[in-house]
Structure 1
Amino acid sequence: MIWEVFRQDQAGEYHTHCGNVHAPDRDMALMFAEIQHGRRKPTNSLWVVPQKEIGEVDTEDAKFGGTTDKSYRWAQSYSFEAAAEEVAESESEQVQAEAERQRGDD
């Protein structure tokens, strides 16, 4: 039986796939995974999963993110130039208004 092995470098990090082992049961798979994938690099934990139990959803099966336009969630989709021009115009209007108020007070 083939077991896929996922390794975590440090606590709190994601487990990443690092390979597989051939073993008749989970205990042997854990032992083989520790020997083959856990002893050469710093390892916090290992997961072993039967290869047959891993499912996959790819772009042929599903549309990731749905069909709704959600570009507003990403800062790259915003145009800041118009807003920057508006702020500059507003500041100059405020400076002008303040100058006119001061002339009226004199």
Structure 2
Amino acid sequence: MIWEVFRQEEQGEYHTHCGNVHAPDREMAKQFAAIQHGRRKPTNNLWVVPKTEIGELDGDEYAFGGATDKSYRWATGYDVTADDASEVVESSGEQEDAKERRNEVV
């Protein structure tokens, strides 16, 4: 069975993948990881995980990177056809004026 090994160099830092070990069970995998990956560099902590337990999230399946559409910050991104949207309409006009002034400066 293949076990993936993640090493933490100093307390508080992230664990990084440093390799794998072949072992029949968890205890042997921990021992092999300590010998092969824990003694070569300064090591605070090791994570030893069965390779079959590691899941992958593909960028084609999921959108990573957070919300890049920030139109919610501007009144122009809202529906202003409602009767109670007078403040939004006023703000929209102010933001359009500000946008024109920014373009004039550049």
Shorter chain as denominator, the TM-score bin is: 0.5 to 0.7
Q: Do residues 55 (structure 1) and 46 (structure 2) align?
A: no
Q: Following superposition of structure 1 onto structure 2, how do residues 11-90 of structure 1 map, counting pairs within 5 Å?
A: 11-65=11-65, 68-70=68-70
1:43/1:60 Cα in 2 relative to 1: closer, same or farther (>3 Å)? Answer: same
Cα deviation, residue 40, structure 1: 1.1
Superimposed CA distance per residue, residues 73-104 of structure 1 (whole angstroms, 9 cap, x where no aligned partner): xxxxxxxxx5xx8xxxxxxxxxxxxxxxxxxx
> Given residue 34 of structure 2, which amino acid in structure 1 is its aligned partner?
E
Structure 2: segments with no counterpart, 5+ residues: 72-101
Q: Which amino acid aligns with 2:2?
A: I
Unaligned runs of 5+ in 1: 72-81, 86-106
Change in Cα spacing, 1:43 to 1:66, as seen in structure 2 (3 Å) is closer
Q: Which one has the bigger helix percentage?
A: 1
Identity of aligned residues (%): 74
Q: TM-score with structure 1 length normalisation?
A: 0.63
The corresponding residue for 1:4 is 4
Q: TM-score, normalization: structure 2?
A: 0.63
Which SS does the other structure have where 1:13 is aligned? coil
Q: Distance in 1 between matches of 2:70 and 2:5?
A: 35
